[in-house]
Amino acid sequence: MGEPIGFIGLGSIGAPLASRLLDMGESLIIYDVRAEAAEKFAGKDVRVAKSIREVADTARTVLVSLPTPDIVRAVATGGEGLIAGTQVRFYVDLSTTGPIVARDIATQLAKKGIGVVDAPVSGGVAGAAVGKLVLMAAGAKTDVDQVMPILKHLGQVEVVGDAPGMGQSMKLINNMLSANHMAIVSEAMVLGVKAGLDPDVMLAVLNKGSGRNTSTEERFPKFVLPRTFDNGFSNALMRKDMKLCMEMAESLQVPMWVATAVDRLWMQTVLQIGPNENTTTIVKTVEQWAGVEVRGKAARDA
């Protein structure tokens, strides 16, 4: 085995990413603030660290997959964070933090001689488990080249820029579009059901026409029509990403009329349905207002 790779954050995306690296023959030193998160790695070629600092004192390359910008900032540049480590030389952020935080962290880590690669991911839990993510990488070419063999284990790497933060900008744009089509498909499907249309038939038609998108092709048939709503990404995290995108747009003075309306709908969904419910439950917000449910044949029969 080669030198260990550090991995911090073993949540819904981080855990399958770390497992993927192990499956590809890498050796890891892992850390999560929740001790139980590391239990699933028992018996594998992995060392469980007791602190962030232990990871930074052991591994030259450290990947993080964390839920919020504040947590990412604390892990990277806090008093006992990666910045204080003796061995870490390359930092890869797989989280969604926004370009402002990414650039600030990169500036601080650069003072310690630590190269930064911004590499947020898209593809969900299922994609993470089988190495089918899209990684939006940005950073100095020498830093990107250094970590590229690791990133390729996780999926398809698209280099979108030569400075940290550019990957975050690309990710926010991606998630903004994802949030927008999830919202508008929710409204469309509720409208159709209230008009008397069958939701299974609606999706069959939409997916043969110009209205198709990943929500009509994947999220609604897999998670909404069967009423499972278990797509693995929370309303709170989607709202966080939308808010970051709105902040990016404001800083660049770009009007975002449609996205602003969708952001308001997602804020209402967090309040009305719950922050920890999965994003496909946005349809429930519209359903409750309209007084109907988008329920597929299998769910109706059950």
Residues 176-185 have pLDDT tens digits of: 999 999 999 9
148 and 187 part of one domain:
no
Cα of 91 vs its chain's centroid, Å:
18
Domain boundary among 110, 132, 164: 164
Domain boundary among 117, 136, 164: 164
The crossing angle, in degrees rounded to 10, of helices 257-272 and 166-194 is 70
Greatest C-alpha distance within the chain: 65
Beta-carbon-side half-sphere exposure of residue 34 (alpha carbons within 13 Å): 11
Cα distance between residue 189 and residue 163, in whole Å: 41
Higher confidence at residue 12 or residue 195? 195
pLDDT at 121: 96
**Is the pLDDT score of 302 beyond 80?**
no
Pair of tokens at residue 118: 């911004």
Indicate which CATH number applies to the domain containing 128. 3.40.50.720
Are the CB atoms for 44 and 18 separated by under 8 Å?
no
157 and 195 part of one domain:
no
**Is the pLDDT score of 34 beyond 90?**
yes
DSSP classification of residue 127 = H
Q: How many domains does the chain have?
A: 2
233 and 262 part of one domain:
yes
Domain that includes residue 260, residue range: 169-301
Among 67, 277, 286, 96, CA closest to 193: 286
| H/E run at residue 138 | strand 133-138
275 and 148 part of one domain:
no
pLDDT at 1: 55
pTM for this model (two decimals): 0.93
Per-chain mean pLDDT for the chain: 95
Q: What is the pLDDT of residues 199-252, one digit of tens each?
A: 999 999 999 999 999 999 999 999 999 999 999 899 999 999 999 999 999 999
pLDDT at 43: 81
142 and 13 part of one domain:
yes
Cα distance between residue 206 and residue 216, in whole Å: 7
135 and 228 part of one domain:
no
32 and 147 part of one domain:
yes
Q: What is the pLDDT of residues 137-167, one digit of tens each?
A: 999 999 999 999 999 999 999 999 999 999 9
Cα distance between residue 13 and residue 181, in whole Å: 22
- Work out the average pLDDT over 57-69: 97
115 and 216 part of one domain:
no
**Is the pLDDT score of 301 beyond 90?**
no
pLDDT at 262: 97
**Is the pLDDT score of 171 beyond 60?**
yes
73 and 182 part of one domain:
no
195 and 135 part of one domain:
no
Handedness of CA 220, 224, 230, 234 (dihedral sign): positive
pLDDT at 251: 94
Among 264, 228, 93, CA closest to 164: 93
* pLDDT-derived band at 298, boundaries 50, 70, 90: confident
Indicate which CATH number applies to the domain containing 286. 1.10.1040.10
User: For the chain, how far is it from start to end, CA to CA, in angstroms?
Assistant: 51
- Work out the average pLDDT over 28-41: 92
Domain boundary among 164, 188, 218: 164
113 and 54 part of one domain:
yes
**Is the pLDDT score of 94 beyond 90?**
yes
**Is the pLDDT score of 42 beyond 90?**
no
Handedness of CA 251, 248, 110, 52 (dihedral sign): positive
Q: Which residues pair with 7 in a beta bridge?
A: 30, 63
Cα dist from 4 to 25, 60, 61, 83, 163, whole Å: 11, 8, 8, 18, 26
- Work out the average pLDDT over 38-64: 93
